[in-house]
Chain A
Amino acid sequence: MRKWSLTWACLFLFFIGNAQNSDKPKNVTNSYVIQNVNIIQKPGQQINMGSIVIQNGIITQVGKSVNIPFDAEIISADSMFVYPGFIDALSHTGIPKDESEKPRTDNPGKPTNEAAGIVPDRLSSSLLSAKSKSIEGLRNLGFGISHIVPEGNMMPGSGAIIVLNGKSSEEMVLKDDVSLFGTFKGSGRVYPSTIIGVLAKWKDLYRNAEIAKKHTESYQMNPQGVGRPAYDAATRALFPVVGKSKIIFMKTPSLLSIHRAMKLQSDLGFNMALCEVKQGTEVIDRIKAKNYPVLLSIDIPKAEKKEEDKEAGKDSTETKKKVEKKKKDVDPEMEAFKERKNKSIAQYIGQAAAFEKAGIPFSFSLESGKSKDLKKNLMAMIEAGLSETAALAALTTNPAKLLGISNIAGSIEVGKMANLVMTDKSYFDEKSKIKYVFVEGASFEFKDKPKKKKKGANDSSTVKVDGKWSYTMEIPMPDNQGVLNIEPTGDTYTVTLTLNGQEDDPEIIEDVELIDDQMSFSFEVTEGMVMTVEMELNFTEDSFEGTVKAGDFGTFPMTGNRIADPKN
């Protein structure tokens, strides 16, 4: 284990950007007609079996019957469902993680603004990378537009609204410098390092900007007899904030952070949206009274299944005995703790429903958590009482209004940007699948993935993967070769991975997926930090090639050759 971790840790020194080509849409035309489709124009407004015409990225016709342009590609939707492309109200999509080494500060009490995490002048557009995988990831979930902000400490930078398709960041940016992202995160080793330092610094910067703005304006009017105002990029970037023309999106996941943000806002008076809210139920009345825009997090805790439910279905007497035995062993104190924990979980999941009930419009932010869990988490929220209409509004009309782009996005209407998401069933059907996503008229089609094959008679694999393989990872470090042993176990395979010279310290992986001739699996290494290593290998009879993804460090080529046949 240790050796493995050190091996990966070495990658820090040899950091290589994770550059991968995103799938480009195959555009042969700029016109599309989607026919026979159930059009959910906006939350609560539906046209059954209608058509949509898209031309040059714009919706040009919507209705029961439309005129088909001569050059249009016809998509026969066959009673699918089409929704406005989703809008992500706040995330870090397309902004690569900042892994540059921070310069050492000699006196931690007087760091540079950058080291302190105070960079309100940093533009998201300057950080956006069109190659980032997260863009494709979000698009695949049905999103067409994202409000992106940089990651960081107390003032990580200003937000931009981007369209989730384009070859370059310039192509993607719809509006730049639209918001300020704010957090209560300290810088750790330099001032402000703690919550008390951060809050003091917020007040200090804000009040200083108020005075500096007045000073600068009066100097511009008449500089005579007035000392020249200092030029400071960070302070200047706060002028529109203190002038109330720019809104602060404050990251407030916890109840305490919401309270702190509300206090700071009422002390200073800026315009604020609460974002990534996870625990807002308790302060719904106050949020409503103050009319704060709210972005609820899609990151919710998993409901814990009861033991009995897990065993349900298995009706053997042995299982029953097991359950009875467990019942006898229960510790009432631990049971009481569990019950309280479950109540807490239910409150997190029920947050969105509670906001809907209180009549507060909200959007969703995807700042933390796995965006992949969007659908699953939405379904959990709906089960907890959220209406589908409100869920859809939180992904479409509400963020469009909040971001000031209602005239071009958020609904399927003539003249708006052709951002659409099409599903085979109602999106809110548990089994629905996304079939098409349109982003500004560019079409992305999703075909069913081949099902996970199991070993045995129906095995679609044309090659036998079991046996011993040597491998080489093309990673910039010395320990990059070893042996891969693949053994069949029951329905699947077990992979034993060793590094050369470290044979006594193998990594054993049991959850292995084999589709056609591609094997994929992952494992975690821990050495001060936890990193997931994912391997995806395509096999032929005597060799394989594929990739190894080492956490956030990057994805690297990996090749191998058969060195021994399976025992049988």
Chain B
Amino acid sequence: MRTKNIITNIKAIYTMLLCCIAFLGQAQIEKASVLIKNGTVITITDGDKENTDVLIRDGKIQSIGKGLKAPNGAKVIDADGMFVMPGIIDAHSHIGIDAVNEATNVISPEVATGDAINPFAMTLYRALAGGVTISHAMHGSANAIGGQCETIKHRFGTMDPEEMKMEGAPRTIKFALGENPMRVHGEGRNIAPRTRMGIEQLFRSSFAEAQNYTQLWNEYNSGKTKTPPAYDLRLETLADIMAGEILIHCHSYRADEILMLMNVLEDYGVKNITFQHCNEGFKVAPELAAFGAHASVFSDWWAYKFEVYYSTAYNAAILMKNGVVTSINSDDRQLIRHLYHEAAKSQRYGDLSDNDALKLITINPAIQLGIEKRVGSIETGKDGDIVVFKNHPLSIYAVPQYTIVDGIVRFDINEQPDDMRIDIDPKEAMPSFYEDVHDHDKCLQDVQDFLLHKHSHQH
């Protein structure tokens, strides 16, 4: 018995050591404890609880209940009369990164926005002010297969880009259908894809090429041939997509194209897809549900180009009622600041319950990003990502008061100074504080100038 205990102890110590070693190479994520007292707690997965406390300890939700005690040194927030909900998650944005499109190649899965994180971006802080604790920093829609995206936690205040990454979040990648890749590559350069047919063919040829690449490596690794294939990060990444290691998020509008991509994925055995924008998703909601595809949509934004005219504000509700996991996203640095209003609009049109409307910006985007076990609801053991609202979040009078990430209050409407910039250009003529105010959609950012002469909203 005693020996067994010792062995168990040794095992535990060994595991701890291994964890420490694994951790050494990584960025240290700052975490804290905070007690939020007496709020109306909107758990999302377990109903609303009035006059309830939420205790976050060392970055994780430790308990939800009444009369909880704060650990030593923990911050205490009096949420009496306020609403406590999970941090809002935006499944489609482009904030906090220095590059959005590597528009020079129509197939560019090897590039990753995670390589270009800019923790100093003021848009991150402004998103916190809108209660958003996690966003999906996506590649743009210039390419049929764009770059890998990064799920980032809005740990605004940290200087290390690696610390912005949500550790353990699955890899994701951007695909794009329709007019954007056709315009950038077809019209812009007179190369494929010039048409929607061309886009389908690119997916098929890319997957076929990746299959071939995987086979070559298998032959080499098994000793069948002594000649190693040339390493190709592009094909490596495509092979990872086909192996199901990367979740696809595809820019899409038209129903026919959505069906097309599902057919292609079916042919190559690829699952795990979220259709982004998905304005005509309502036309193919049963098919999406049958495939297990998700949809991340706007509440009521459309008509900014030809393929986006056939749209409806009932989209989110129709998709949801057909069993499609649906979220509302921003794709915009301004909209990200009031995603709770966007959810409320979908409720207004589609007659959703309060809880279903709030799912659109919490647990559902979490599912789409593969992080629903960590965030998206207030449950013990989940990450301490919380937003405290004055007035109900679906009310037009809702205003976030505190936004908490990993137990750290990253936004406090009353206490923080006006100038929250971290990195200040010593040569700036004008304070950069005033920059970034002008809102331009970033979905086609970094696409070469000559393609942007006809500037318009180009999601």
Contacts and interface: CB of A to CB of B under 8 A. Distances in A.
Q: Does chain A bind chain B?
A: yes
Given A194-B101, A203-B233, A214-B228, A259 B160 contact: yes
A256 B102 contact: no
A107 B106 CA distance: 10
A197 B102 contact: yes
Contacts of B25: 266
A208 B231 contact: yes
A260 interface: yes
A438 interface: no
A214 B232 CA distance: 16
Given A108-B189, A336-B419, A260 B115 contact: yes
A204 B231 CA distance: 7
A433 B449 CA distance: 49
B99 A212 contact: no
Interface stretch (A117-125, A130-138, A224-232): A224-232
Interface in A196-231: 196-197, 199-200, 203-204, 207-208, 210-212, 214-215, 218, 225-227, 230
A226 B226 CA distance: 5
B106 A196 contact: no
A150 interface: no
Interface string B97-110: 01101111111101
Contacts of B105: 108-110, 191
Contacts of A256: 98, 118, 120, 161
Interface stretch (A339-347, A382-390, A422-430, A540-548): A339-347
A249 interface: no
B191 interface: yes
Given A207-B233, A211-B231, A345 B426 contact: yes
Contact of A227 (B107, B110, B113, B225): B225
B102 A282 contact: no
B228 A215 contact: yes
Nearest to B162: A263
Contacts of B424: 340-341, 343-344
A260 B161 contact: yes
A258 to B, nearest CB: 10
Contact of A193 (B102, B234, B418, B425): B102
A196 B191 contact: no
A195 B98 contact: yes
Contacts of B226: 218, 225-227
B160 to A, nearest CB: 6
A210 B99 CA distance: 28
Contact of B104 (A189, A215, A348): A189
Interface stretch (B122-130, B340-348, B353-361, B427-435): B427-435
A408 B7 CA distance: 60
Contacts of B41: none
A255 interface: yes
B159 A230 contact: no
Interface string A39-61: 00000000000000000000000
A193 B104 contact: yes
A190 interface: yes
Given A204-B232, A225-B226, A341-B426, A108 B104 contact: yes
B112 A196 contact: yes
A304 to B, nearest CB: 9
Interface string A322-354: 000000000001101100110111011000000
Contacts of B110: 200, 203-204
Contact of A200 (B111, B225, B421, B431): B111
A254 B102 CA distance: 22
Interface in B212-236: 225-228, 230-234
A259 B162 contact: yes
B426 A191 contact: no
Contacts of A199: 111-112, 115-116
A211 B104 contact: no
B446 interface: yes
Contacts of A341: 424-426, 428, 431
Nearest to A224: B226
Nearest to A333: B418
Contact of B159 (A189, A226, A255): A255
Contacts of B104: 108-109, 189-193, 197
Contacts of B8: none
Contacts of A554: none
User: What size tier do the contact residues of chain B reach?
Assistant: 35 or more
A301 B421 CA distance: 19
B218 to A, nearest CB: 15
A282 B448 CA distance: 34
Tell me what chain B mostly uses at the interface: helix, strand, loop, or mixed. loop
B147 A196 contact: yes
Contacts of B234: 204
Contacts of B161: 256, 259-260, 263
A336 B420 CA distance: 12
Interface string B403-446: 00000000000000011010111111001010000000000001
Contacts of A337: 419, 431, 433
A348 B425 CA distance: 10
Tell me what chain A mostly uses at the interface: helix, strand, loop, or mixed. helix
Nearest to A192: B102
B233 A107 contact: no
Contact of B191 (A107, A225, A260): A107
Which interface residue of B120, B147, B431 has the most chain A CB atoms within 10 A? Answer: B431
B425 A344 contact: yes
Which interface residue of B25, B110, B191, B426 has the most chain A CB atoms within 10 A? Answer: B426
A107 B425 contact: no
A197 B111 contact: yes
A212 B230 contact: yes
Interface string A161-205: 000000000000000000000000000111111111101100110
Contacts of A259: 160-162
Interface in B67-120: 98-99, 101-108, 110-113, 115-116, 118, 120
B348 to A, nearest CB: 38
A191 B419 contact: no
A526 to B, nearest CB: 16
Contacts of B232: 204, 208
A337 B434 CA distance: 11
Given A195-B116, A256-B118, A260-B115, A107 B231 contact: no
Which interface residue of B115, B225, B230 has the most chain A CB atoms within 10 A? Answer: B115
Interface string B24-60: 0100000000000000000000000000000000000
Contacts of A194: 99, 101-102, 111, 116, 446
A109 B431 CA distance: 37
Given A109-B106, A189-B104, A208-B231, A301 B159 contact: no
Contacts of A226: 226-227
Nearest to B106: A109
Contact of A196 (B102, B162, B423, B425): B102
A260 B234 CA distance: 20
Which interface residue of B25, B102, B226, B228 has the most chain A CB atoms within 10 A? Answer: B102
Given A191-B105, A191-B108, A341-B424, 20 more contacts: A107-B189, A108-B105, A188-B448, A191-B104, A199-B115, A200-B110, A204-B110, A204-B231, A208-B232, A211-B228, A218-B226, A226-B226, A227-B227, A230-B230, A259-B160, A259-B161, A259-B162, A341-B425, A344-B424, A344-B426
Closest 4 CB pairs of A and B: A227-B227, A109-B105, A301-B426, A194-B99
Interface of B: 25, 98-99, 101-108, 110-113, 115-116, 118, 120, 139, 147, 159-162, 189, 191, 225-228, 230-234, 418-419, 421, 423-428, 431, 433, 446, 448
29 contacts: A107-B189, A109-B105, A189-B104, A190-B104, A191-B105, A193-B102, A194-B102, A194-B116, A195-B98, A196-B113, A196-B139, A197-B99, A197-B108, A197-B111, A199-B112, A199-B115, A199-B116, A200-B147, A208-B231, A210-B231, A211-B228, A211-B230, A211-B231, A227-B226, A263-B115, A337-B433, A340-B419, A341-B424, A341-B431
